[in-house]
Amino acid sequence: MDRTRMVANNVKFYRQMNGLSCEQMAKKMGCSARWISKFDTHYLTPPIDTAYELAAFFGLTVYDLFWFVDQPEPEKKLAVIGSKAATAATE
């Protein structure tokens, strides 16, 4: 799955999970429904500033919006790297 389709699926999923139409979400975010629908319909990947706004709106991280749901969870994949970095930071 390409990144645009995956982000669109995530935006649409979280929008619908919150019971919002494109119009309702746009009104709450202060943008146009057409702008939201561009992400919803795989037309456009959000620019980084918009990705942060979308993530904040849903109470997510930007990483959550761009994550492939069929891959292993990042904590499992990066646990060793994270623990080495944490140890190095405290030394």
Q: What is the CATH number of the domain that holds 43?
A: 1.10.260.40
**Per-residue pLDDT tens digits for 70-87:** 544 444 433 344 444 343
Contact present, 39 and 51 (Cβ < 8 Å): no
What's the mean pLDDT in 40-62? Answer: 86
CA–CA distance, 57 with 60 (Å, rounded to integer) = 8
Number of domain units in the chain: 1
For residue 91, pLDDT beyond 60 = no
Question: Could you tell me which of 64, 81, 82 has the C-alpha nearest to residue 73?
Answer: 64
Residues 6 or more apart in contact with residue 70 via CB below 8 angstroms? 1
Range of the domain at 63: 3-90
* Strands (E) located in the chain: none
